[in-house]
Structure 1
Amino acid sequence: MASSRDRQRKLARAKLDRQMARRAATVRRRRRIQAGAGAVLVLVLIVAGSAWALGAFDSEPKQNAAAEDICLWTPQDATANTNLKDVGTPETKGLPTDGTRAMTVSTNQGSPITAELDLTSSPCAAASIAHLASRSFYDKTNCHEITADGALRCGDPSGTGLGGPTYSFYDENVPTVPSPSPSASPAPDQPPTYPKGTVAMIANPPGANGSQFLIFFKDFTTTDPKFPVIGRVTGGLDVVEKIGALPTVDNGTGAKVKPKTDVVIQSLTVGEPVTAAAPAPSASGTPASSPSAG
């Protein structure tokens, strides 16, 4: 039947798109790790060349374990920034790079907020949040800011905007905005850069991500994106919207962004990785129904 063949073609196309996305994400990660560790690699090459000249590689060489690294964690000095908290660092190898991980944020403002962390586009951010959650890093901390961009800012135990763990990591999935062509006719309305429900990292300075994240409670459009997208809200968006409507007061720096009512993360947990799978066609050739979200 034509409908069955069309569905098979769509499923095959969707599978190919997912494979291409995973390959592109892998290439981007490799390039960033190489850029962040360029000086180290030069030194390794010099040492390896000297060792080769001396006959150190006459026997079968061992596999280069550094090539298996997925994420690069850059140490931060806790003596220079006393707002940092040392809870160790995540693993660099064997991290999941496909599918999603569920994140649950329980606050004092109502039902839990749930989200999916994107392992394909943001494996290092997901690995960092999972590591910090396993160390109870986020528990009993305040979401200290309601931003002018329409997002709730959380993840800093110090509540200053300068806090985090004693490591940082690079941006992974910052949205791109196409440059308009001067000769082109006006384009139709573009989708928001950060749709309502987006979960993103925020860093100070930008690019040195740690533990702080944003949950957008309204659409935000910008021509200069700075926040790496790491996932999306899957439940409790009404709670985020309620928090976003809270009155704000001066945070001590002259900025009226601190929620007047304390917004406390009672616990933040991250589930095990779930690999995305294409839905199997039903016997009749029509799409199989999915269970409704609870």
Structure 2
Amino acid sequence: MISINPFSEISAFIPSFVMQTYVIAMFVLVIGATLFDVVHKKSAKYFFNNSVKAKKSATRNVGSGEKVSIAFKTATNEILTSSEFCSTRRRLAHLLTMYGFIIFVVATVVMIFSYSTPNTMTPSIWPLAWHLGAAMLCVGGYWFWFFIRVDVAAEGNKWYRVIRADLFVLSLLAMSTFALLWSYMQSNGINIWQTLFFGLFIGASTVLFGGVLWSKFAHMFYKPAAAFQKRVTKADGSRENLPEPADMPKKFGLGIEREAPRHY
């Protein structure tokens, strides 16, 4: 199973150019929807205005060389290793999901654009990477959803309550799960089930990449920018000039102790 390129196997029924067109369409949807989201929510304007305000209260100038160093630290810490997470298990779940997604997408693109014609020999590394990426997505995603997600019960909600913000992680989980099931059914020659799971895999992928405007997909692009700006404001001293947050009372009206937010 893990040594078989599923896209090559199905190319006898679905031409390579159709699969390639689909991948390009999903890429265009992500880029277009992200740009629209930036304009609609005025995210770029927010970052620009925030940067201007920070410069006015800066105590020192941050040169281009130092900014390059800050960008490198941001990439290696907040992006590549997710060091901003205080909880070790949340950090591990996030890294599994992130790297699983990257490996899965890269392997998918390579196999579809280079090895999706009938009887094409695919280097074993790519099917292995594809299955490994999907498995990492499942482990990290299900770990987050069932064990690390905010304690909705404490907020008076059912554990199965789903809101629009959950669209990203649920479609991501569905895509990786159906991909593995499709590959398993295909490798065992179970035609009816492999057709079903392939359809579900494509459906989940379309929701994931086509639903950027309604999910948290675009946040992946905002996060590095916000982390970089935070480090710059700390370096130029403008962050230190921000007012301190007001102290919260230890007790509320009826003498109930204030509890820490139940997030992990």
After TM superposition, the score normalised by the length of structure 2 is 0.29
Normalized per residue, the structure richer in strand is 1
TM-score normalised by length of structure 1: 0.26
Structure of greater relative contact order (alpha carbons < 8 Å, 6+ residues apart): 2
